[in-house]
Amino acid sequence: MRIVPAVDIRGGRCVRLVQGDYGQETVFSEDPVAQARQWHEALGEGLIHIVDLDGAKAGYCCIEPQLHALAAARIPFEVGGGIRTLDSVRTILRAGAARVILGTAAHRDPDFLQAACREWPGQIAVGIDARDGKVSLSGWLESTATDAEEFAQSVEAAGAARIIYTDIARDGMMRGPNLEATRGVARAVGIPVTLSGGISALEDIRAARTLEPDGVDEIIIGRALYERAFSVQEAQAALRG
């Protein structure tokens, strides 16, 4: 199991939102590339989770210069946020991303998801954001009747290499992750699952280790690191026991 620090970018700055609410933004760094470098150096290896918050609204990549800077610094990263076309996927991968994360578009346009998975096998992940077990779209503003576990199975069938599962009610709230919902999604599929949302203490990380036999092998951590609830090194030590 691996720790994946999150760097959310809006207006060229590193920020964190509460439950995806753009009106509840905290700026943590004026330089997201420097912040990613700090997390990467603390990790020693592994990915940085990059979210293009402006892209999520605009529908195209708004952080290409930052992505090139990350690649030039040899910082491995994945990117999500408003990726709706094959051209956008191509742009982000050419900028150096190890993975591209599709969200709303994967739900609304299954053909797009399948085409992306065919063209870039192993590099397409799908972000499933859920509230009460149902998929939410468009930056969590739109609720659906789609069951998260069933949707997970459909994206696996389409060729996705990974699922990043976020429980909306926990994201940015520092209240602990939804382990049971994450376990349900992981057990429903055969591809790896990343846990996202709610990690607030080292005990949450230790508890998340129980998900590893079900196929959960990564934990995205955002606000807890920025608010210094614990360090990257302490998080890694918690994974080891």
Residue from 52, 129, 171, 204 carrying the catalytic annotation: 129
Tokens of 150: 């069933």
The helix/strand/coil state of 20 is coil
Burial of 44 (0-12, 13-18, 19+ CB in 10 A): exposed
Do 14 and 24 meet the contact criterion of CB atoms below 8 Å apart?
Answer: no
User: DSSP for 170-237?
Assistant: TTTT-S---HHHHHHHHHH-SS-EEEES---SHHHHHHHGGGGGGTEEEEEE-HHHHTTSS-HHHHHH
8 part of the active site: yes
Determine the distance from the C-alpha atom of residue 53 to the mean position of all C-alpha atoms in its chain, rounded to a whole number: 12
Query: Residue type for 114, please?
Result: Q
Terminus-to-terminus CA distance in the chain, angstroms?
Answer: 12
Catalytic residue among 8, 52, 54, 171: 8
How long, in residues, is the chain? Answer: 241
Which residue type occupies 107?
H
* Catalytic residue ranges: 8, 129
